[in-house]
Amino acid sequence: MHKPLAGIKVLELARILAGPWIGQLLADLGADVVKIERPGIGDDTRSWGPPFVEAAEGGTLSASYFHSTNRGKRSVAADFETEEGRAVVRRLAAHADVMIENFKVGGLKKYGLDHESLRALNPRLVTCSVTGFGQDGPYAPRAGYDFMIQGLGGIMSLTGEPDGEPVKTAVAFADVFTGVYGTVAILAALQGRHATGEGCHIDMALLDTQVSVLGNQALVYLVSGLLPPRMGNEHTSIVPYQVFPAADGHVIVACGNDGQFEKFCGVLGTAWHRDPAYATNPARVTNRAVLIPLIAAETQRHPKAELLAKLTAVNVPVGPINDLAEVFSDPQVLHRGLRVDLPEPRARGGSVPSVSSPIVIDGVRMVAERASPQVGDHTESVLSDPAWGG
């Protein structure tokens, strides 16, 4: 399949997660992504282990963290501290469609590699700058890390048990979302370039993204003036919509309407749906403190598999709580091909596992066919590539 971004050249001057996530997604969609790395050291996350991908000949091929966000790229080793290294970046930028960078505000200007400097060489260049707090404002000079952004941006005030401490998400929530939004912005900028013939500068901030994805919880506050509480696995506006105990584990039940609740009651053999205190969702929200213990007492009488089967049969949204071993052995996950093993002769076993992008176009899943590179793997091939000025 001819991938939609084939022919688009992306220069990545980014490390850690948010910026590389953009580069990986663009590579999955067919772009030629060239990652600039410090000679011998590379992206910081190469050492963020264990675990590490084991090499066939002994040693390692970087940490799993690095491989989670750098597949499909070509690595060029260049040192910004030297004029030779800066010249390499300028040359590649002159032929690139997109540049991704996540240096502190002004961090590239001292090297003459900021957007304004490079657009003089390439007016069509789209630059996406990823920072913690954006290019302006009182916090702009600060370094931004996902954990602190989750706290500052409000999501931790909503996550966790009511009587427990605030909890961050287990995945770098702000980083990944910034990577996705950054990709959307780049695609929009490339489309806009068709009309103007000129590139632009995209300002992506982790804090902006974190606040933006507060979604319905933000509107609860903005509309009512009330602070949404931490509710653990419960939902502020829907009941029942949470984890319930089974005889041998737990299940998630998510009744989004009164019809589903009636079917849920039918499976449990109760008549709560006929009681005015529970017949409608607003009534159930109001009376959740009484209803939830009643439901839990019934669900824990049934084995997990039985609940899953019976509720699925009557179209009540229900699901298990899988660990990652169960996720990657789940028949739907297997069928959809969400795990991919990318060829890498230097790795023990000859491949590196990866989690595919969720994008499927005309039946073809968009995932790069090449594993993450080692530092400088492609320095010679990129610098001799005519598409990059070689």
- Every domain of the chain and the residues it spans: 9-213+334-388, 241-322
Active site residues per annotation: 175
What per-residue confidence (pLDDT) applies to 319?
A: 96
What per-residue confidence (pLDDT) applies to 84?
A: 97
Q: Which residues pair with 201 in a beta bridge?
A: 127
Give the integer Cα–Cα distance in Å for 1 and 88: 32
Query: DSSP 3-state assignment of 199?
Result: coil
Q: Is the pLDDT of residue 117 over 80?
A: yes
Mean pLDDT computed over 225-244: 94
Query: DSSP 3-state assignment of 103?
Result: coil
Q: Does domain 241-322 have CATH number 3.40.47.10?
A: no
Residue-wise pLDDT for 61-101, tens only, equals 999 999 999 999 999 999 998 999 999 999 999 999 999 99
Distances in Å between the Cα of 224 and the Cα atoms of 216, 219, 221, 322 are: 12, 8, 5, 36
Average pLDDT, the chain: 96
- What are 163's two structure tokens? 């009587």
Side-by-side strand order, sheet with 32-37: 73-77, 32-37, 9-13, 98-101, 126-131, 201-205
Model pTM score: 0.94
Helix axes 258-268, 304-313, angle to 10 degrees: 130
Distances in Å between the Cα of 34 and the Cα atoms of 208, 248, 385 are: 27, 50, 12
What does the DSSP assignment read for 334-361? Answer: HHHT-EEEEE-TTBTTSEEEEE--S-EE
What per-residue confidence (pLDDT) applies to 236?
A: 86
Query: DSSP 3-state assignment of 331?
Result: helix
Query: DSSP 3-state assignment of 230?
Result: coil
Could you tell me how many residues make up the chain?
390
pLDDT level of residue 328 (50, 70, 90 thresholds) = very high
pLDDT level of residue 1 (50, 70, 90 thresholds) = confident
pLDDT level of residue 340 (50, 70, 90 thresholds) = very high
Residue-wise pLDDT for 135-148, tens only, equals 999 999 999 999 99
Residue-wise pLDDT for 286-325, tens only, equals 999 999 999 999 999 999 999 999 999 999 999 999 999 9
For the domain spanning 9-213+334-388, the CATH number is: 3.40.50.10540
Long-range contacts of 166-169 (CB under 8 A, 24+ apart): 166/230
What per-residue confidence (pLDDT) applies to 322?
A: 96
